[in-house]
Amino acid sequence: MSNSLRKLGFNDHFAEHAARYGIGQPYRVTEDFGLRFVVSGDAGGQLRPFNLTFARKSERAPIIGDWILGTPTETGEVEFIDILERSSCFQRSTGEDRVQLLAANVDKLFIVTSCTDEFNLSRLERYLLLARANHISPVLVLNKADLATDPNTYLEQIAELGPEIPVCVLSTFSEPGVTQLKLMIAEDETCVFVGSSGVGKSSIVNALTESQRQLTLGVSAKGARGSHTTTSRSLFMLPESGVIIDTPGIRSVGVSASADSLSDAFEDIAHLMSQCAFRNCGHNGEAGCAVTQAVDEGRLTLRRLNSYKKLQREAEFFEDKQAAMRRQRDEARQRAARRGSRQRFERDPK
């Protein structure tokens, strides 16, 4: 395993799966433009970018962060062979019974919000749920702290989400905050930055990579919202260590998680539920409900409980839809198998 590939995030997991093929070389998808891809791989001990030759109609498409196997061509491109097994995948529901894959092989999710009107605890809870459901470690980044009269008011609200969640407070142009952020990224980690448009994700990526590869446009008169041109997904290597992925702003955070994942994202509520007098408690004011009692006593906010219940309904709906789609696929395969058997019998009734 070359040192250059290791810096790009290649590890024993991917090396083991690549060895099973016996052909091709490993490359990582570093640019995803939707219709075309750029991959990076080892060339004489140095990382080099290549355009990826990919027949989208006939093959499973890679996404940003994927490790693929490919072979270099005489034209200087890479011909696609297969996608190596992913260690994780950050995804969301599109609300159309489908799942959108946003980034592959992610270790840490940096959820960027800001000290502006954009700040929304319920949206942060959605991101945290998706991180937990996909076995990705979350970090909250509270940006644009210089715009707030008192950033502590935002931190007090964030504390409602749980004491175990790391939080980094920064202004993009504050060197101490950026330094703290760098220390949160280990050498072998792939990190994704997500958040709404205008929270400063790309400016943070610029500060981390010490570049201006992500062009940032002007900021509004109030200084609250920036506008950037990020429409593709890009992977960057940090000067010191680690890999980060910048994504376009996400307008809606659809739940693509199981109902069981809620217990990880809402540990406080899960703990209270275990203390209810009855196992079938609906947590709507029933006698002996520890959850309702916690709300009445101010130990749990009604907002957080309502957020939990809403996400629970969405997660159950998502699970039901996914189960229905699996049944449809199974039935289609069974019908195809029966047709094949019938056709073979008609050709050779003996």
Binding residues: 143-146, 195-203, 276, 281, 283, 289
> What's CA 235's distance to the chain center, in Å?
13
- What residues have CB less than 8 Å from 215, skipping those under 6 apart? 228, 229
Annotated binding residues for GTP, as ranges?
143-146, 195-203
CA triplet 173, 125, 318: central angle to 5 degrees? Answer: 130
Annotated binding residues for Zn(2+), as ranges?
276, 281, 283, 289
Q: Are 216 and 226 in contact (CB under 8 A)?
A: yes
Q: Are 166 and 184 in contact (CB under 8 A)?
A: yes
CA triplet 19, 23, 27: central angle to 5 degrees? Answer: 80
